[in-house]
Structure 1
Amino acid sequence: MAKEVNGFNFEQRHGKERVRVARVWKDKDGRHFMVEWSVSISLLSDCVSSYTRDDNSDIVATDTMKNTVYAKAKECSELLSVEDFAIVLAKHFTSFYSQVTTAIVKIVEKPWERVYVDGQPHRHGFKLGSEKHTTEVIVKKSGALQLTSGIAGLSVLKTTKSGFEGFIRDKYTALPETRERMLATEVTALWRYSYDSVHRIPRMPIYFTEKYLGVKKVLMDTFFGPPKEGIYSPSVQSTLYQMGKATLDRFPDISSIQLNMPNLHFLPVNLSSKDAQIVKFDNDVYLPTDEPHGSIQASLSRIWSKM
């Protein structure tokens, strides 16, 4: 919230960006679990005098924020979700420091996945996947909560069951209509949970991890359709809407979802000279390109949602 300072409206915040931390947990059977997080912290606090009077007595040092990430990771003796860790950090800053009114914690989780050797899960071996699990937690001193989770870099493609017809045509339109094309995109999704207080969060340490995996499955299942027959996509817009709707239908504690799905083009290749056609395209050879690409995004929210 802006304050009036020397005749100006003044807003400020400070924090620490991209604090990288890895945490390993070991169970009694010798199996290891690990996460790698990139943590960003932003504090809204009553430290205006540090800007206007050269008085740093109300500042939480950003180096302290960095060290707090490592200390709190150590204190978390049991495996927990990235959302719960973000809440742990935000609650600490708003409760431990009287000057801090609001803490905003953003975390990106790297997708380390357990490897399988000879069909068996390895006890301590992991490989890096692709899409990333993200979260943003905003906690106020009162305990009021705003919790958003997401997925970034989810690349999906289907080689058929996609088309685009009936769009506006004018003198600048060169795109042919089709009922047979490849559909590829890189999904970025953000969804807001309905929990409005830290006291309402489910007391299950990996609840939000399981929810993330569930949302990812719904998004992918809706995009691809059944494994044998698939599902036809009349446009990226239509598929995006169905993916968002399916998520809200499946998870009642998600109040809204925002999806960004660029249309990454695979252009049919036809080779010809002035005298003859050299290679005829038959839905089998394409030129992959992502520049330029279509930009399609939308959000769905329940009527009572504030997103």
Structure 2
Amino acid sequence: MADGFQLQGRHGKSRVRVSRVWRRPAAAGGDIFVEWNVAISVVSDCLPSYISDDNSAIVATDSIKNTVYVKAKECTEVVSMEEFAVILGRHFTSVYPQVSEATVTIVERPWERVVVDGEPHSHGFKAGVEKHTTEVIVKKSGSLLINSGIQGYSLLKTTQSGFEGFVRDRYTLLPDTRERMVATEVTAWWRYPFEHVSQLPSKPFCFTQRYQDVKKVLAETFFGPPDVGVFSPSVQNTLYLMAKEVLSRYPDISSVQLRMPNLHFLPVNLSSKENPGLVKFADDVYLPTDEPHGTIEATVSRAISKL
């Protein structure tokens, strides 16, 4: 309470870009390289700084930025970005008495190891596409929330998709079809079950491997077997099956949220009086467009989840 008003504040530092190399010999798989974009937000009891000229309780955002580099240096062993986010969150909630909560968000720029003449390069990397993300919330009590995800995961199949039997009214122009292209750019978030820092495994949990696992399962479920595929009656059904498969395979994930815009490929038909069949669509020529696009999203969790 301040002067009869309720005040809730938080502060931090965003777009703190940090890279880390862990040196390893070629025989051990070569160097490990990551590039992270870090954002930190802390809930802090520094009311006097808002209502007067007393800044004595503020943890400067420049100090928050510097902490990222110090902690990166201290990680002499390879850590996942989820582990790094927990390290940062525990630092701010334990070192500063006035900080009750820290939220750490990290987006990883995807650098992939280069393969030369069929062999993984020991220290060469190329930029990838989809991005690994995480958001970790640590409270002074030790309460913990870890969400991880994927951004920009583009998937497309040229057949084995349809959409029919939907609501038809006087505004409906879209025809039923059992043959269409389907494309999307998946944004996925999944929650790990660790609710307190004491629940983190004593043996490091490989968040990075689980990210790769989830990405693989999402694609496999979307596409189906490589020779015949799998029919998708709607993006909604495909989304549910993708999330369900992740939960079925990995008991250490408690919920999955997927956002899958339906990026349209419109059939092209061109005609004129002189040439009525200039381009006659036969499931071959399309106009790609993502404006406007359909938006489909859902969260799937276990029946016993506390979400």
Please, what TM-score do these two structures have when normalized by structure 2?
0.97
Distance in 2, matches of 1:203 and 1:73, equals 21
CA contact under 8 A between 1:79 and 1:205: conserved in structure 2?
A: no
- Structure 1 counterpart of 2:8, from 7, 11, 21: 11
Q: CA RMSD in A?
A: 1.2
| Correspondence for 1:96 | 95
| Correspondence for 1:298 | 298
CA contact under 8 A between 1:23 and 1:34: conserved in structure 2?
A: yes
Deviation of 1:33 (Å): 0.9
Distance in 2, matches of 1:10 and 1:264, equals 43
Distance 1:29 1:123, change over 3 A: closer
Which range moved further: 30-39 or 197-206? Answer: 197-206
CA contact under 8 A between 1:162 and 1:232: conserved in structure 2?
A: yes
Q: Deviations over 1:140-191 (max 9, x none)?
A: 1111101100000000000000000001111111111110000000000011
Distance in 1, matches of 2:25 and 2:215, equals 30
1:285 aligns with 2:282: no
| Correspondence for 1:112 | 111
Deviation of 1:272 (Å): 1.0
Deviation of 1:48 (Å): 0.7
Distance in 2, matches of 1:114 and 1:172, equals 51
Q: Deviations over 1:99-135 (max 9, x none)?
A: 1111100000111000001111111110111100000
| Correspondence for 1:51 | 50
SS in 1 for 2:68: helix
CA contact under 8 A between 2:22 and 2:76: conserved in structure 1?
A: yes
| Correspondence for 1:187 | 186
Distance in 2, matches of 1:306 and 1:127, equals 40
| Correspondence for 2:150 | 151
- Which amino acid in the other structure matches residue 223 of structure 1? F
Matched ranges for 1:56-95 at <5 A: 56-95=55-94
Q: Deviations over 1:222-268 (max 9, x none)?
A: 00001111000000000001111111111112111111000000011
| Correspondence for 2:174 | 175
SS in 2 for 1:281: coil
CA contact under 8 A between 1:155 and 1:186: conserved in structure 2?
A: yes
SS in 2 for 1:265: strand
Please, what TM-score do these two structures have when normalized by structure 1?
0.97
CA contact under 8 A between 2:25 and 2:122: conserved in structure 1?
A: no
Distance in 2, matches of 1:60 and 1:67, equals 12
CA contact under 8 A between 1:81 and 1:206: conserved in structure 2?
A: no
- Which amino acid in the other structure matches residue 3 of structure 2? N
Matched ranges for 1:213-252 at <5 A: 213-252=212-251
- Which amino acid in the other structure matches residue 297 of structure 1? E
Distance 1:215 1:288, change over 3 A: same
Structure 2 unaligned runs (5+)?
Answer: none
Distance in 1, matches of 2:182 and 2:202, equals 40
